[in-house]
Amino acid sequence: MDAVEYQAKVEALAEDILTDKQLSVDYDRKRQENREALRILREQSQKAKPNSTQSTTAVNMGDFFIQLPLPKALKMMEDAQSELDKAIDDVRQRLKAKVKLLGELEGDERLASVAKAMDLKSVSGQELYGISRK
């Protein structure tokens, strides 16, 4: 592989890494917005009386709003949250592999050690302390 091909490969990989980082930030921002919406919906559902107008909420679906029952809106938001969690995990796994490959291509020990550190798995509160959600 000549120097130009090598440099093009490294640059393309670095660009992919930056794109994945931005995607991870965007997904995380969306996940935080969903958390806020879930908290508000949960508070509303605790205060709402069954079969009243308070037991529904307006949900933004792109360009318009839809009136939905609170339990259905909660279920939709929880499903969206789990999909975002999966998407974030996918992006992070891809990012780890790309950073490791970049470190190998450049022969950079620092990047290789960062990639190894990124391979560490996070432990949930439930696994660590036996905490469960209600």
Tens digits of residue pLDDT in 75-120: 999 999 999 999 999 999 999 889 888 888 888 777 666 656 666 5
Indicate whether this model's pTM tops 0.85: no
The pLDDT assigned to 119 comes to: 61
Going from N- to C-terminal start, the domains of the chain cover 3-43+70-120
- Token readout for 41 is 């919906």
Tell me which of 3.50.4, 3.30.420, 2.40.50, 1.20.58 is the CATH number of domain 3-43+70-120.
Answer: 1.20.58
Cβ–Cβ under 8 Å, residues 66 and 72: no
